[in-house]
């Protein structure tokens, strides 16, 4: 889900701690809080390390050239979503015939987002409560710092949530491999023996879909000929548990609403236009599966959400004629409506929900908050 994807909801600390009995703390807002330091030292046990994956909108994005905040702040130094330049910075590039994984721009990830800054000292807690509740279990976040006798066992994975889960799965694989080496080397340094390192993953909302794809397929890309992807469970190599928190495994109809109406997270802030949202891969991955017939017309006939013709028929998302003024800003070198329509991104393949259990004793737990 986009606008109400649970990022700003008060997640129940008791549920999270009871499920994992672990935690970590965010960098910027807990480093000066001595309560984190005390909590992280209370527990002498050494559980499996944990990786926290936020949901859509839950990672800070910045312009790689200028350093200006593309997402995560609406104050000074951030782009303006009401300007043409701001919309181009926020949107993913569009190119006819290009695969989703090949569409790159100059935006880079700048960590996870524990707080959404509104500027002038104002802000809204995003994942701050979640991160604080996880700290109760005694995990030590790598970005927090440590004493000489301590070690890291909590890692936050920030990712470009505009991009497909397929592209982000490769980034997650690189991240896990890097942290696996770090934890294994640190364990050998402290104990003088080698240990098999397995991670627990706590993933919220869209992050749960990303983690699920990674566990099922690893780094594999979707088949371009429409065939179902072979489930290999390649991503379970270094993962022991996956806990999904509020993850829409069967899709979220609200994603379609956001692609029609735009994105307004906080009242009075500039709305992100549907044309910009329509360039992201993730809203399409959040759409409900056609197998569940989530949408019907006035005659009760199911509407195929994966058929571009239906989007053109109903004027949804990028096919809305009212959005052409913004598409001209996103595609200034494409002067006519028809070529712009061919360049637009439309729904493609569905990522099939998993069936059965994960192999190798991996625990798959879903929390609905």
96/224 same-domain check = yes
pTM over 0.85: no
225/97 same-domain check = yes
Residue 248 forms part of a structural domain? yes
Cα end-to-end span (Å), the chain = 14
Q: What is the pLDDT of residue 145?
A: 56
Residue 353 forms part of a structural domain? no
Q: What is the pLDDT of residue 265?
A: 61
Domain count, the chain: 2
- Tell me the C-alpha distance between 246 and 275, whole Å: 27
**Residue 18 near residue 134, CB atoms below 8 Å:** no
Question: CA dist 165 to 202, 247, 285, 361, Å?
Answer: 16, 14, 8, 24
242/304 same-domain check = no
Q: What is the pLDDT of residue 229?
A: 83
Residue 349 forms part of a structural domain? no
- Tell me the C-alpha distance between 26 and 329, whole Å: 37
266/244 same-domain check = no
* The token pair that represents 75 in the structure block: 């104050």
178/221 same-domain check = yes
54/143 same-domain check = yes
Q: Residue 278: helix, strand or coil by DSSP?
A: coil
Residue 7 forms part of a structural domain? no
Residue 348 forms part of a structural domain? no
Q: What is the pLDDT of residue 267?
A: 61
215/88 same-domain check = yes
- Tell me the C-alpha distance between 347 and 317, whole Å: 10
Residue 5 forms part of a structural domain? no
Range of the domain at 131: 13-252+358-367
One DSSP character per residue, 109-137 reads: EEEE-SEEEEETTEEEESSHHHHHHHGGG
217/268 same-domain check = no
Reported in sequence order, the residue ranges of the chain that DSSP labels E, i.e. its strands, are: 50-53, 59-63, 69-71, 107-112, 115-119, 122-125, 154-156, 199-204, 239-245, 363-367
130/199 same-domain check = yes
64/101 same-domain check = yes
182/259 same-domain check = no
Residue 89 forms part of a structural domain? yes
Residue 350 forms part of a structural domain? no
pLDDT mean by block of 10 residues, the chain; 369 residues: 39 36 41 47 67 91 91 80 89 79 86 66 58 69 58 87 93 96 89 90 94 95 80 95 92 88 71 91 89 87 90 90 91 68 47 39 45
270/148 same-domain check = no
């Amino acid at each position: 889900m986009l606008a109400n994807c649970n990022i700003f909801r008060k997640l129940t600390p008791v549920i999270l701690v009871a499920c994992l009995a672990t935690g970590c703390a965010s960098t910027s807002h807990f480093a000066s809080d001595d309560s984190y330091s005390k909590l992280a030292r209370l527990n002498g046990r050494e559980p499996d390390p944990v990786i926290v994956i936020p949901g859509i909108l839950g990672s800070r994005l910045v312009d790689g050239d200028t350093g200006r905040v593309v997402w995560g702040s609406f104050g000074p130094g951030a782009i303006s979503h009401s300007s043409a330049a701001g919309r181009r910075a926020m949107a993913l590039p569009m190119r006819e015939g290009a695969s989703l994984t090949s569409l790159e721009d100059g935006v880079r990830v700048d960590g996870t987002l524990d707080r959404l800054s509104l500027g002038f000292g104002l802000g809204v807690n995003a994942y701050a409560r979640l991160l604080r509740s996880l700290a109760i279990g005694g995990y030590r976040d790598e970005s927090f710092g440590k004493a000489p006798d301590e070690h890291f066992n909590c890692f936050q994975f920030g990712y470009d949530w505009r991009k497909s889960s397929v592209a982000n799965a490769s980034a997650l694989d690189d991240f896990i491999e890097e942290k696996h080496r770090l934890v294994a080397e640190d364990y050998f340094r402290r104990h003088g023996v080698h240990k098999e390192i397995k991670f627990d993953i706590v993933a919220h909302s869209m992050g749960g879909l990303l983690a699920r794809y990674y566990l099922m397929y690893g780094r594999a890309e979707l088949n371009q000929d429409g065939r179902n992807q072979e489930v290999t469970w390649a991503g379970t190599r270094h993962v022991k548990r996956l806990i999904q928190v509020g993850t829409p495994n069967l899709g979220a109809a609200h994603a379609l609403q956001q692609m029609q109406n735009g994105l307004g997270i906080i009242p009075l802030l500039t709305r992100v236009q549907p044309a910009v949202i329509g360039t992201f891969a993730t809203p399409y991955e959040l759409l409900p599966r056609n197998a569940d017939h989530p949408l019907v017309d006035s005659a009760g006939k199911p509407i195929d959400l994966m058929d571009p013709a239906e989007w053109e028929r109903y004027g949804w998302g990028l096919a809305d004629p009212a959005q052409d003024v913004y598409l001209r800003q996103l595609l200034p070198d494409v002067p006519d409506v028809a070529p712009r329509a061919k360049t637009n991104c439309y729904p493609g393949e569905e990522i099939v929900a998993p069936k059965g259990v994960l192999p190798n004793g991996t625990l798959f737990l879903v929390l609905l908050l």
